[in-house]
Amino acid sequence: MPVVSDDEHGGLYPVNYTAAVAQSRDYELGLPLTFSPVNPKKGVIRLSTDVNIKFSDTTGWDIESNVWKVKYDKALKQYAVMVGGVEGNPGPETLDNWFKIEKTNDGYKFVFCPSVCSYCKVMCKDVGTVIDKGGWRRLVLSGDPMSFVFWSTY
């Protein structure tokens, strides 16, 4: 759940019509997330390492893949976090599907800076939010990170 400042926003959801990832408009917890490390044999999620992020349960949501990826959004005129990515298979074909979790002063943040391809040129940016024309607080690559805290769903 995002760290609350002066806004009243909660957890994360996929937005059906755009495949975008958006923050709820109130204090709802959002859908649970699952993190998959680049090396599944280790089974531990460490800070600053590549992970896939996916919504754990998207029953009732009209999306074909619940895995996060970064894609340019023409309407926003910037790179945004969407669903529709591929889990696992680290390399140049899946570069847009890898994120990192970093510590902040008041919680954690997501960073897009994949290191799953040693020869690929990558763009490194924090994941922040911007409000789209429909009023959704969308996750985008930004210089202003969105801080969050973890909540156990079990």
pLDDT in tens, 21-33: 656 556 566 778 8
**Integer angstrom CA distances of residue 14 from 3, 20, 55, 108:** 19, 6, 8, 20
Q: Where are the domains of the chain?
A: 12-142
pLDDT in tens, 53-95: 998 876 666 667 889 999 999 999 999 999 999 999 999 999 9
Cα separation of 12 and 29, whole Å?
7
Domain 12-142 has CATH 2.80.10.50: yes
DSSP string covering 22-72, please?
EE-SSS--B--EEEEESSTTT----TTS-EEEEES--TT---S--BEEEEE
Based on its alpha-carbon atoms, the radius of gyration of the chain, rounded to whole angstroms, reads 15
pTM of structure = 0.84
